[in-house]
Structure 1
Amino acid sequence: MSVAVKICIGTYCHLRGAYNVLQLFQHEIEERDLHDKIEISGSFCMGHCENGVSVEVDGKIYSVSPESAREFFEGTILKRL
C-alpha cells in the first residue's frame, strides 16, 4: 500500500513555497527509505490557495507552509502508512 501525495505547483502555491515543501518531503522520504510507500507528484491549481501550499494526500486537500511541512509529513503522511 502506498500513500499518494500531490503538491500544487501552480503560481500561487509556488510563491507560497511549494518547492520548499516538495524538497522537504523528498528529503524525508530519502532519509526514511520510503520510496516504495509514498508516491509524490505535482499538480496545477487545486483551488485551495488561500492558506498556503495545497497538498493532497489520498484525495484530501490540506494547506501546508514550508514551516509546517515536517510536522505535516510526520503527523499526516506517515500516519497513512
Structure 2
Amino acid sequence: MIIRVCVGSSCHIKGSPEIVELFKKAIEEYHLEDKVTLAASFCIGKCNRVGVTVQIDDDIYAGITKENFKEFFADNIIKRIEGK
C-alpha cells in the first residue's frame, strides 16, 4: 500500500507536515513498516477542500485533519490491511 500525502502549497498551509508526522507515528505504532510506504506528493488536485488531501493507492481522500486522523487511519488503512 502506498500512502501519498499532498505537500503542495495549499495542503502545506492546511497542515500536511502534521499529517505526515501522524502517519509516521501510526505506521510505527501499528508495526506497518513492511506493509505501507509513506510518500509526499505535490498537488493532488483537491485544493478547494478543507484539510489535507491523501492518496491511498488509487483512491483520493480530501479533508484529513489532525482531529479526524485517527478515525481516517482506522477506516482507510487498518481495515484495508486487515482485508475488511
TM over 0.5: yes
Aligned to 1:77: 77
Gap runs ≥5 in structure 2: none
Aligned to 1:53: 52
1:15 deviates by 0.5
More contact order relative to length (CA 8 Å, sep ≥ 6): 1
What's the TM-score, normalizing by structure 1?
A: 0.91
Superposition pairs of residues 21-60 of structure 1, within 5 angstroms: 21-51=19-49, 52-60=51-59
Count, aligned residues: 79
Gap runs ≥5 in structure 1: none
**Structure 1 vs Structure 2 CA RMSD:** 0.9
Establish whether residue 5 from structure 1 lines up as the match of residue 3 from structure 2: yes
Give deviations 1:34-81, integer Å, cap 9, x for gaps. Answer: 100111100000111122211001111101112111111111111111
Runs of 4+ aligned structure 1 residues displaced above 6 Å come to none
